[in-house]
Amino acid sequence: MFTPNSIPYQQQPGFQRTYRQGRLSLGLFFPLEAFTGDTPSMLDQVSLAQNAEKLGFSALWFRDVPLRDPSFGDSGQVFDPWVYLGFMAAHTHSIALGTASVILPIRNPLHTAKAATSVDQLSGGRLLLGVASGDRPVEFPAFGVDPEQRGSLFREYLKVFREVQLSSFVPITWSGGTLEGADLIPKPTTAEIPFFVTGHSRQTLEWIARYSHGWISYPRPPKSQQVVVENWRTAVRDECGELFKPFSQSLYLDLTDNPQTPPRPIHLGYQLGRHRLIALLHILQEIGVNHVIINLKYGQRPAGEVVEEIGEFVLPDFAMSA
């Protein structure tokens, strides 16, 4: 863990559990609960996460929300993502652990790299790193960052983050510091931690296709999402040839008791029954979506029931071994 290695990131256990070309897998956002307002209870999260792993969900995803802003309406899983990742890594065994997403411009890139490689090593190569430039206005002045510079800082900090994983004792200079005569340890379990740009993060699609290992986008009606996925595939082919770079999306879900309930739009998702959910996910798989991250915030039922139902009746249609 102290020197760079040459194992491709595609062989990382978290990546292999979550992504396969032509297949769709399912993950869950923390907190695993439905709640009103902006702050969840955070109760029973370990047992729910362990059951999700047992049922065969591919990944658990952690938000990066350092400050409570009631006007934004969502405080994520409340706890610091790196601390919570370490905690959940110790309570699970094989499920991938993802960030959606770490805000790069408000952190020193060496701190980000140290935390990420530590989680990756301690979890046995299960970290999937979603990264973003940030969109909460209150955060930038609080951390002394010019919001107009976040796009360029995102590129610069991501470059540092990658270089310190791939090299050892190589001098690196960026706008915020110089690394010389020292090395960042640990190194990740593969050559680098798989990372995924969220939204555009103030970058062009071509830049994301060239430099990232995949893209996390937002939910849209299937016909609209198909256009986005096709544009992504075209950009990846133009920049990287036939290299597989997965497409992920979030989805807010209110799963009803009635399996046949037709879809009704809610904020960034749907209220629907499980049969209609299966049909929707098959459509998303057909248009090229590789991973759907389910958010239960707006649900009407206990999260445990919903996770159990999806695990029993929905996941078998999307088993990664198929």
pLDDT tens digits along 196-246 = 999 999 999 999 999 999 999 999 999 999 999 999 999 999 999 999 999
Write out pLDDT tens, residues 32-68. Answer: 999 999 999 999 999 999 999 999 999 999 999 999 9
Name the amino acid, one letter, at 124: G
What does the pLDDT average to over 56-82? 95
Q: Which residues contact 288 (CB under 8 A, 6 or more apart)?
A: 226, 229, 230, 232, 233, 247
Q: Which CATH superfamily is domain 9-317 in?
A: Luciferase-like domain (3.20.20.30)
pLDDT at 322 over 60: no
For range 22-33, the mean pLDDT: 98
Other C-beta atoms closer than 10 Å to the C-beta of 226 total 17
pTM over the 0.95 mark: yes
Phi, psi of 177 (to 5 degrees): 170, 180
**Residue 247 to residues 15, 155, 192: CA-CA distances in angstroms?**
13, 20, 19
Query: pLDDT at position 130, please?
Result: 98
Which residues make Cβ contacts (< 8 Å) with residue 289, sequence separation at least 6?
24, 225, 229, 247, 248, 249
pLDDT at 319: 82
Residue 201's identity, in one-letter code, is S
Give the C-alpha separation, 271 to 209, whole Å. 32
Per-residue pLDDT, 269: 98
